[in-house]
């Protein structure tokens, strides 16, 4: 009975810590969850330390349930095209509305609303541009089943065609980035567009890029550039073996790709816990 109460107490403590608004307290709660799992398997195995360690490690293998049941069967189009769309319901993406307002306040002009679908996930883009900043800004709204989130990106392209981007995308990438893309990832809690634009300017300065080194974007080419960038990313992942062709104009994750995704899931579990 004493051992049972210890395990229950640890799980209750972990749940209490996880409900905190402070990040370090929530991370402490995640560690307590691991320790509670360790003690549970440690006690039921007759105080076997290795069984306790294995029980705690089970949390890191939970993504394989999703990988082997759903992700393995995904088929994604090799050539995906953006289509013009109406803005989604603002009630689903309140932060996106604030971001769009911030872009307009910073002098960015609205270009278009477009989107595409990736194996059940709807992605909607609100695209803006600023000739003086020599940058394109976007707020992307993602919706899949009951999950919805938005993220902001600011993108510049230098005279050699290399892309420089600052984004608060909240998750690890599900595909490797193309070599021509340099990414400046800021915390997802930073959702104010003015802050992200400031970070992008600092990023360009750190990379020793002057405004004269950047191309002035053409608003008529922004959608085509997004499509071309995605195709370059797909080609990069085909070359590296992360994905493989299915022979019907689609691609799917290879075994190596499933391992890559598992590693990305684990990184998110550690970073976002």
Using alpha carbons only, give the angle 229, 232, 238 rounded to the nearest 5 degrees: 145
Based on the fold, state whether residues 173 and 202 are members of the same structural domain. yes
Based on the fold, state whether residues 116 and 199 are members of the same structural domain. yes
Model confidence at 94, in pLDDT bands (50, 70, 90)? low
**Would you say the C-alpha torsion 207, 211, 212, 215 has a positive or negative sign?**
positive
Give pLDDT, residue 250.
Answer: 92
Cα–Cα distance for residue pair 251/71, rounded to 1 Å: 12
Model confidence at 242, in pLDDT bands (50, 70, 90)? very high
Q: Is the pLDDT of residue 245 over 70?
A: yes
Based on the fold, state whether residues 143 and 104 are members of the same structural domain. yes
Question: Is 155 part of a structural domain of the chain?
Answer: yes
Question: Is 150 part of a structural domain of the chain?
Answer: yes
Based on the fold, state whether residues 221 and 94 are members of the same structural domain. yes
Centroid of chain to Cα 139: 13
| Sequence-separated (6 or more) residues with CB below 8 Å from residue 10 | 32, 35, 36, 39
Q: pLDDT, tens digit, for every residue of 105-115?
A: 999 999 999 99
Tally of domains within the chain: 2
Give pLDDT, residue 200.
Answer: 97
Task: Give the full edge-to-edge strand order of the sheet including 250-253.
Answer: 76-77, 250-253, 243-245
Based on the fold, state whether residues 153 and 197 are members of the same structural domain. yes
Segment among 27-41, 157-171, 248-262 with least mean pLDDT: 27-41
Highest mean pLDDT (candidates 93-97, 118-122, 252-256): 252-256
Question: Is 66 part of a structural domain of the chain?
Answer: no
Give pLDDT, residue 114.
Answer: 94
Q: pLDDT, tens digit, for every residue of 165-199?
A: 999 998 899 999 999 999 999 987 788 899 999 99
Q: Is the pLDDT of residue 147 over 90?
A: no
Give pLDDT, residue 25.
Answer: 81
Model confidence at 272, in pLDDT bands (50, 70, 90)? low
Give pLDDT, residue 15.
Answer: 86
In whole numbers, what is the pLDDT of the chain averaged over residues? 89
* Calculated CA dihedral for residues 231, 233, 239, 242, nearest 10 degrees: -120
Highest mean pLDDT (candidates 28-37, 115-124, 145-154, 204-213): 204-213
Based on the fold, state whether residues 7 and 142 are members of the same structural domain. no
Residue 163 is encoded by which pair of tokens?
A: 């892309």
Which long-range CB contacts under 8 A does 152-161 form with residues at least 24 apart? 152/99, 152/191, 152/193, 152/196, 154/196, 154/197, 154/200, 156/200, 156/204, 156/209, 156/214, 156/215, 157/214, 157/215, 157/217, 158/209, 158/213, 158/214, 158/215, 159/213, 159/214, 159/215
Based on the fold, state whether residues 11 and 55 are members of the same structural domain. yes
Q: Which domain holds residue 108?
A: 80-252
Q: Is the pLDDT of residue 92 over 80?
A: no
Cα–Cα distance for residue pair 38/1, rounded to 1 Å: 17
Cα–Cα distance for residue pair 12/260, rounded to 1 Å: 33
Phi, psi angle pair for 249, to nearest 5°: 85, 15
């Amino acid at each position: 009975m004493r051992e049972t109460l210890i395990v229950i107490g640890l799980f209750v403590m972990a749940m209490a810590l996880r409900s905190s608004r402070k990040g370090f307290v929530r991370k402490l709660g995640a560690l307590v969850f691991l320790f509670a799992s360790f003690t549970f398997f440690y006690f039921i195995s007759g105080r076997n330390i290795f069984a306790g360690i294995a029980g705690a490690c089970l949390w890191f293998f939970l993504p394989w349930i999703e990988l082997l049941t759903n992700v393995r069967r995904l088929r994604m189009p090799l050539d995906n095209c953006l289509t013009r769309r109406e803005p989604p319901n603002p009630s689903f993406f309140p932060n996106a509305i604030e971001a769009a307002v911030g872009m307009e306040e910073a002098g960015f002009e609205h270009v278009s609303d477009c989107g595409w679908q990736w194996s059940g996930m709807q992605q909607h883009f609100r695209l803006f541009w600023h000739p003086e900043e020599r940058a394109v800004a976007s707020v992307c709204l993602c919706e899949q089943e009951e999950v919805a989130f938005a993220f902001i990106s600011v993108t510049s392209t230098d005279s050699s065609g290399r892309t420089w981007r600052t984004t608060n995308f909240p998750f690890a990438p599900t595909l490797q980035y193309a070599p021509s893309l340099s990414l400046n990832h800021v915390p997802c809690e930073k959702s104010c567009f003015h802050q992200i634009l400031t970070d992008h300017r600092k990023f360009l300065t750190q990379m020793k890029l002057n405004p004269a080194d950047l191309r002035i974007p053409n608003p008529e080419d922004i959608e085509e550039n997004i499509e071309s960038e995605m195709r370059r990313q797909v080609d990069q992942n085909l070359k590296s073996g992360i994905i493989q062709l299915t022979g019907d104009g689609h691609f799917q994750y290879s075994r190596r790709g499933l391992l890559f995704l598992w590693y990305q899931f684990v990184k998110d579990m550690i970073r976002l816990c």
